[in-house]
């Protein structure tokens, strides 16, 4: 089961990353270009929200089935930078990123104007993308 969950989490991450780039770029370009909010923008933001939440659920399952804390004490995990990154920093940062995507999406739904809808998407999706870029395990992606 662990190998299947790792596989899903690893490959679904590519879709999430691409969608975050598309949604963030779309929101930034439209916001700063003072363009109108369209149904396409809604679909892009919604699809990004959905795939990121699915990735979060897969990640939570992976965290619980992985044996990060099985034989290690909290002190040992926190003392080992690679283990700490996989067991604590990466999950927490990604949880925050998904929360920011959710907040941005929720705030944009309440606005009535194009500028009002695009601004929260641009702000929150950009911050979430920056967090994801910072804590992605790049060495594993390119190996």
The predicted pLDDT at position 141 comes to 67
For the chain, the average pLDDT equals: 90
List, in order, residues 6 or more apart from 73 with CB less than 8 Å away: none
Query: Domain residues for 12?
Result: 2-141
Whether residue 91 has pLDDT greater than 80: yes
13, two tokens = 């991450």
- Please name the residue that has the structure tokens 């940062």: 93
Mean pLDDT for the stretch of residues 107-119: 90
Could you give the CA distance from residue 58 to residue 13 in angstroms, rounded to a whole number? 10
**Coil/strand/helix, residue 3:** helix
Number of domains in the chain: 1
Q: Which residue has the tokens 């979060």?
A: 56
Position 126 scores a pLDDT of: 97
């Amino acid at each position: 089961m662990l190998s299947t969950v790792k596989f899903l989490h690893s490959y679904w991450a590519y879709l999430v990353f691409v969608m975050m780039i598309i949604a963030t770029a779309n929101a930034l370009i439209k916001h700063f270009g003072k363009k109108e909010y369209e149904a396409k923008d809604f679909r892009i933001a919604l699809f990004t929200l959905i795939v990121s939440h699915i990735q979060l659920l897969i990640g939570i399952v992976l965290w619980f089935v992985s044996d990060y804390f099985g034989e290690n004490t909290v002190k040992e995990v926190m003392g080992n930078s690679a283990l700490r990154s996989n067991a604590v920093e990466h999950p927490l940062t990604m949880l925050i990123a998904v929360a920011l995507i959710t907040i941005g999406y929720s705030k944009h739904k309440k606005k009535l104007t194009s500028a009002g809808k695009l601004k929260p998407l641009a702000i929150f999706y950009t911050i979430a993308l920056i967090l994801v870029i910072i804590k992605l395990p790049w060495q594993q992606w390119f190996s």
